[in-house]
Structure 1
Amino acid sequence: MTLAYVIHLLGAVLWVGGMAFGLLALRPALAGLAGPQRLAVLEAAYRRFFLVVWHAMPAMLITGYILVFWWFGGFAGAGWHVHVMHLTGLIMAAIFVLLFLGPWRRMRGALAAGDTASAGAAAERLRWMITANLVLGLVTVAVAGWGRFGG
């Protein structure tokens, strides 16, 4: 159970921390670049980060269910915070899949075609979806800590 818990925590740190870094540090740092350069850096950064999420997200879901069923004995034995984490985790996973299949594909296709205006619009949509996921991720972390130690 300890290994499942550690993997779960590491996945959360990578996913939520990566979103925070991207939105709060990387994007503002790129503001001084011209549009095509900024989009090229964002595309390269997103490509790498999304690869991390494609590994962290399933690992978190799998370890989360392992913890629910083998540590708590099922959802009936889990605290309110586990139920909230389950819900927000599923919503975050759905948002990620939607942003990956929607705006991310549109951004990559537009960049490949040299259409920076469309790529920029898709990047803006990505930013909003990642922001929503970051907020959900931070709420989830707060709920996890509060439920585990605060009651």
Structure 2
Amino acid sequence: MIPSLFLHVLSVVIWVGGMFFAYMALRPVAAAVLEPPQRLALWAGVFGRFFPWVWASVALILLTGLHMLMTLGGAQAAHYIFTMLVLGVLMMLIFAHVFFSPYKKLRRAVRDEDWKAGGAALAQIRRLIGINLSLGVITIAVVFGGRAFAG
């Protein structure tokens, strides 16, 4: 169970930490110092490098989480574990939507130099990453709170 837990937590750190960095550090600076064409190209490039790591993290989080759930007895596991599972799957669905819809639009807009469409796509990505970051922090709180109250 220790290797699964390590991979699980490492994947969460990569994903949630990456969202925190992008949302709280990179976004405000990029908005302050870059014009729209450069800012949109930057974000398309950043997401192009970050999203493969997120896909790997999502796969590992799901696989290791299900492995640990089965090791803990499946349906007999603590309620907070099921809350974590539901929130995690919701985050994964939001990420998949970001990847297949607004990120695809952002890449196309940068390629075509359609800065208005790119700005709209980036705004949608920003909102969804903000939601996912919030859900990630809530999930972490649920886990630690659940563990503290479970014993």
TM-score (norm. length: structure 2): 0.96
Distance 2:114 2:18 in 1: 27
**CA distance in 2 between partners of 1:29 and 1:83 (Å):** 37
Q: Residue type matched to 1:96 in 2?
A: F
Q: Report the alpha carbon displacement of residue 81 of structure 1 after superposing the two structures with TM.
A: 1.0
Counterpart in the other structure of 1:67: 68
Q: Distance in 1 between matches of 2:7 and 2:76?
A: 21
Q: Which runs of 4+ in 1 moved over 3 A?
A: none
Matched length: 149
Is the 2:37–2:113 Cα contact (8 Å) retained in structure 1? Answer: no
Is 1:51 the counterpart of 2:52 in the alignment? yes
Separation of aligned partners in 2, 1:88 and 1:137: 8
Which residue is 1:14 aligned to?
Answer: 14
- Name 2:90's counterpart in structure 1: 91
**Who is 1:115 aligned against?**
114
The question of whether the paired residues in 1 share the 8 Å contact of 2:4 and 2:68 is answered with yes
Counterpart CA distance in 2 for 1:145 and 1:49 is 27
Tell me how far 1:114 sits from its aligned partner: 1.1
How far the C-alpha of 1:47 sits from its partner, in A, is 1.0
Structure 2 stretches lacking a partner, 5+ long: none
Any gaps of 5 or more consecutive residues in structure 1? Answer: none
What code does the residue aligned with 2:28 have? P
Structure 2 contact 19–129 (Cα < 8 Å) conserved:
yes
User: Distance in 1 between the 2:19 and 2:148 partners?
Assistant: 25
Measured against aligned partners, the alpha-carbon deviations of 1:35-55 in whole angstroms (never above 9, x if no partner) come to 111111111111111111010
**Given the alignment of the two structures, is residue 81 of structure 1 paired with residue 49 of structure 2, yes or no?**
no
**Residue 134 of structure 1 aligns with which residue?**
133
Identity %, equivalent residues? 38
Q: Please state whether the residue corresponding to 2:101 is helix, strand or coil.
A: helix
Q: What's the secondary structure of 2:73's corresponding residue?
A: coil
Q: Which residue of 1 aligns with 2:25?
A: 25
Rounded to whole Å, the distance in 2 between the matches of 1:130 and 1:150 is 30
Q: Structure 1 residue 149: deviation in Å?
A: 2.2
